[in-house]
């Protein structure tokens, strides 16, 4: 009952006009980002993160969350109409969505994707209400050794964010951690690794790094690929029929439940759950031969799993401070910028903020359904916007955003330099999310290690003598193994479907 009361108070706050406005704006911008080829939720959050800092923390995070799940829905538009999966998680949607579009049923496929996203997203948010406070209550018992073990478990996410090479991911993680050491040391209070440059004493600004590695890199990638608009399939009927919805209802539920539980696993990407959901639906279908030819269930199941996994990822993020996907890693950075450390104390110290954000996700999912079904034709037209128009706008917003945080040209320089590095990382397939994750978590890991060593007079056995920290260490090993197995299986499946080696976390 206490949880219900807190949720109702969150709804009371979320239903105020300023919060409703940012929910709607976030959902619309997210859908737009998902629709436009070449952009994705990670790049969008990186571009808009500095702009949301002018808002209060609650409204800023509500908008970023809306951009995230809105973009996850919007990605289905290019997958269905253009046969272009903006994210690897949209590959299964292409398999039946594009054949449906070629048959003149693109509107029905987009409608089913919208309804499935709403159903699964709502189920996942209900799970968020039930699971996250429980995890946070248990985690309130944490001390420095438990926090250290938790950070170690969070870093196991690197395996699933590794892309094509675990060695490259680990190297990038070390690079990110070393860069986080620049500035004032947490124990000594003295400058370190500042190369006798006063600009380096304050350390590297997270927003500048994110803008460079994602937003500016995205522009450079687009220029190199010479992106142009692609004419999409014609849409005859905008809304799915009653028969389509009836045929899709059970796949939506199955995909939503599967996606939710997969999303609880730290580091399990939506790409994994969408392929598993598509496989499951094909196995239980009475007509598996229709899959790949335009089966509406082949759109409903993976799209539901996609949205459920994305929403469920907020549970380990808010309760434990573990981001389950690249966009949530950027969102973790946003929380830190606002001074809201996600993890065990977030629910206790900032309960009103947490429950308002959760309530806004219910509202945002409903808004996505109400707003996007009538706008299907408009989204289809936007897939034809030339990239030559988008690139200068993205670049301008990036420079303004990098400068605005500390009013420093040094931060703009950092963004530009890391934009060039990000392009090189992309070109040679070095994953950037492990770098960002270790840059964010590195100082927390270092501080909890120093405190733990002080408690134990320098003995590392303290991490294995306390029940919670020992459990987390064992879970870290198990998650590493499980994530590696899932990653290899999903990569093999992507290669089978698209005929090439695809990086699961290229975006």
Residue-level pLDDT at 227: 53
CA distance 351 to 343: 12
CA distance 158 to 437: 8
Segment among 60-64, 185-189, 214-218 with least mean pLDDT: 185-189
CA distance 149 to 144: 9
CA distance 498 to 271: 14
Closest by CA position to 307, among listed 160, 43, 118, 85: 118
Residue-level pLDDT at 251: 92
The 10s digit of each residue's pLDDT in 418-466 is 999 999 998 888 888 788 878 877 887 888 888 888 888 888 888 888 8
Q: Are 267 and 157 in contact (CB under 8 A)?
A: yes
Buried b (16+ CB within 10 A) or exposed e, 180-211: bebbeeeeeeebeebeeeeebebbbbbbbbbb
Q: Are 151 and 337 in contact (CB under 8 A)?
A: no
Confidence grade of residue 312 (pLDDT, cut at 50, 70, 90): confident
Segment among 78-82, 240-244, 488-492 with least mean pLDDT: 488-492
Confidence grade of residue 507 (pLDDT, cut at 50, 70, 90): very low
Closest by CA position to 117, among listed 275, 256, 296: 256
Closest by CA position to 142, among listed 475, 474, 445, 468: 468
For residue 157, how many other CB atoms are within 10 A of its CB?
Answer: 29
Q: Are 385 and 78 in contact (CB under 8 A)?
A: no
CA distance 384 to 83: 14
Greater model confidence, 31 or 379: 31
Greater model confidence, 44 or 157: 44
Locate 82 and state its tokens.
């253009």
Locate 399 and state its tokens.
């420079």
The 10s digit of each residue's pLDDT in 316-352 is 888 877 787 778 888 888 888 888 877 767 887 888 8
CA distance 206 to 414: 10
Distance of CA 91 to the CA centre of its chain: 17
With 0-12 / 13-18 / 19 or more C-beta atoms within 10 angstroms meaning exposed / middle / buried, residue 170 is: middle
Rounded mean pLDDT, 50-54: 76
CA distance 250 to 341: 38
Q: Are 255 and 305 in contact (CB under 8 A)?
A: yes
CA of 21: how far to CAs of 25, 59, 60, 66, in Å? Answer: 6, 9, 12, 11
Locate 62 and state its tokens.
């509500």
pTM: 0.69
Residue with tokens 């004493």: 201
Residue-level pLDDT at 229: 45
CA distance 165 to 431: 8
Confidence grade of residue 88 (pLDDT, cut at 50, 70, 90): low
For residue 35, the surrounding DSSP H or E stretch is: helix 17-35
CA distance 361 to 346: 18
């Amino acid at each position: 009952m206490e949880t219900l009361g807190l949720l109702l108070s969150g709804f009371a706050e979320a239903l105020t006009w300023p919060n409703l406005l940012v929910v709607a704006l976030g959902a619309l911008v997210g859908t737009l980002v998902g629709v436009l080829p070449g952009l994705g939720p990670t790049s969008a959050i990186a571009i808009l993160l500095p702009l949301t800092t002018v808002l209060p923390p609650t409204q800023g995070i509500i908008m970023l969350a809306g951009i995230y799940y809105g973009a996850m829905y919007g990605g289905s538009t290019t997958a269905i109409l253009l046969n272009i999966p903006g994210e690897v998680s949209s590959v299964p949607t292409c398999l039946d969505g594009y054949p449906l579009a070629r048959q003149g049923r693109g509107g029905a496929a987009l409608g089913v994707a919208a309804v499935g996203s709403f159903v699964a997203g709502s189920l996942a948010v209900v799970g968020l209400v039930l699971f996250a406070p429980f995890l946070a209550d248990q985690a309130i018992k944490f001390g420095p050794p438990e926090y250290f073990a938790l950070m170690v478990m969070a870093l196991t996410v690197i395996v699933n964010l590794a892309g094509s090479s675990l060695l490259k991911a680990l190297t990038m993680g070390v690079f990110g951690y070393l860069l986080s050491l620049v500035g004032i040391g947490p124990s000594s209070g003295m400058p370190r690794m500042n190369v006798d440059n006063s600009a380096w004493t304050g350390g590297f600004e997270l927003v500048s790094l994110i803008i460079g590695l994602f937003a500016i890199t995205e522009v450079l990638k687009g220029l190199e690929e010479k992106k142009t608009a692609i004419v999409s399939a014609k849409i005859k009927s905008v809304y799915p029929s009653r028969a389509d919805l009836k045929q899709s209802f059970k796949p939506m539920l199955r995909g939503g439940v599967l996606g939710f539980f997969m999303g609880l696993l730290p580091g399990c990407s939506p790409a994994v759950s969408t392929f598993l959901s598509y496989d499951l639906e094909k196995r239980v279908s009475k007509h598996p031969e229709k899959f790949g030819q335009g089966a509406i269930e082949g759109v409903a199941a993976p799209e539901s799993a996609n949205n459920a996994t994305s929403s469920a990822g907020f549970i380990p993020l808010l309760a434990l401070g573990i981001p389950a996907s690249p966009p949530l890693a950027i969102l973790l950075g946003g929380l830190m910028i606002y001074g809201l450390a996600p993890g065990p104390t977030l629910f206790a110290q900032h309960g009103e903020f947490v429950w308002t954000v959760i309530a806004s996700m219910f509202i945002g999912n409903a808004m996505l359904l109400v707003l996007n079904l009538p706008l299907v034709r408009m989204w289809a037209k936007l897939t034809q916007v030339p990239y030559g128009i988008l690139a200068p706008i993205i670049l301008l917003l990036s420079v303004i955003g990098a400068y605005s945080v500390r009013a420093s040209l040094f931060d703009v320089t950092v963004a530009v330099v890391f934009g060039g590095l990000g392009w090189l990382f992309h070109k040679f397939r070095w994953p950037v999310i492990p770098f960002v994750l270790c840059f964010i978590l590195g100082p927390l890991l270092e501080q909890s290690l120093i405190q733990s060593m002080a408690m134990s007079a320098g003995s590392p056995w303290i991490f294995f003598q306390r029940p919670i920290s020992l459990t987390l260490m064992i879970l870290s090993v198990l998650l590493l193994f499980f994530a590696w197995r899932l990653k290899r299986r999903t990569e093999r499946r992507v290669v089978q479907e698209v005929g090439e080696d695809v990086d699961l976390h290229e975006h």
